[in-house]
Structure 1
Amino acid sequence: MQPHSYLPRPSKQQIRDLPAFAGLKPENIHMLISGNDVAAACQILGQADVLGFDTESKPSFVANQSTGGPHLLQLATDKEAFLFSAALLEGNAHLAAIIQAEHILKVGFGLRSDRGPLQHKLGVALTPCVDLAKVVKSLGYKDQVGVQAAVAIVLKQYLPKSKHISTSNWARLPLSTAQIAYAANDAYASLCVYRQLRLSAPQLFINGG
């Protein structure tokens, strides 16, 4: 019996050599501040069929220590992204309705680690949703991949990922311009990967999505 043959993952250098991912323009990224902002944003989000989804939390440098996150939730449409700070998450009925809306599919990477803390904060479950890490793996890769590798594999583009930004304090407001762009484009990139996979490999979504 021959060993299973997996597709090779692109190396870090191969990923960096790809054309840059065309992220959202700053004017299409909305950092929400008030409850009125949330209500208006959810009116727009409620019209979508699919949303790119991601969260950010203040990092913990102690094993098994909770940071009380998520401290930021990001939802992206095909044209814009909306960022919700922790203060706007707890008990927000408008956002809770979007998170559990059955007519809106939420897509992202590593959703298992997001769902528990998010449900604790909002009191509702993230549904329906598709974890794209598993979908991209099913193309023939040995392990699940993150959003940067998925953008390289599926879109043939380079999504920069700064460790300095990813491990920054997402609980401290106001967020920097770099943090806002990073967070928004993580969610937006997830949606772009999903859209392309629906076109190029629709068989991956036979069981839903």
Structure 2
Amino acid sequence: MRFLAVLPFLLLAMLVLPLLTWQSLRRLKLHADHDEAMPSTRTLALQSMGLQVVMFSTAWLAAWGNGINITWSGGWTAMVALLALGVLATGLVFASLEARRPLTSSDRLRQHLRQVGAKDPYWVVAVAMAAIAEEYCYRGVLTTLLSSAIGTLGAVLASAVLFGAAHLGQGWHSGLFSAMFGLCLQALCYAQGGILAAIIVHFAYDMIVIAAGRRRWECDHIAHS
């Protein structure tokens, strides 16, 4: 029962998502090579929502089948609040440096996502779902499952690497940053004793990056019009 409950989630986190990311990179390269139109941002948002539902469902099944209870709120202290702000600020610094990197033909998805508006209800929901599902799956269930097999440190590192691999669709820079950001979020989870602070930071980071990307796209659009 335990093996059957955990297998879909482990296959998704360790095999399916990295393969989907690799396939996404191939498709983006074909789009760039043939100058084909990208899917609409709304379509991308709906695809993201569907994937988050599958991720959360399989993670919940794995947790239920193995008697894992993920703490959500944990304890809120001044240290947790300061650490949360520090993790958010660190993420935004790296995001700012990445935003200054010139876009190339292989950065079609990154360029396309800059058109997303921070007030687009589809993307607000998609970002909220991603923050909840990814923190629950990676920082919660996956780390807990792996820690019993490879120890806490190994589980944290493996979870961060898989989290980064799942974000390679936006380029290797994004994958590397996501892995490092995952480590910071994991530290925040341990400090709080729950995943809620990490969810809030994750959501705030994504929304700020989307708003900044949209503003940059509008400035570039005006400059070239």
Q: TM-score, normalised by structure 2?
A: 0.26
Give the structure with the larger strand fraction: 1
Q: TM-score, normalised by structure 1?
A: 0.28
Rg larger for: 2
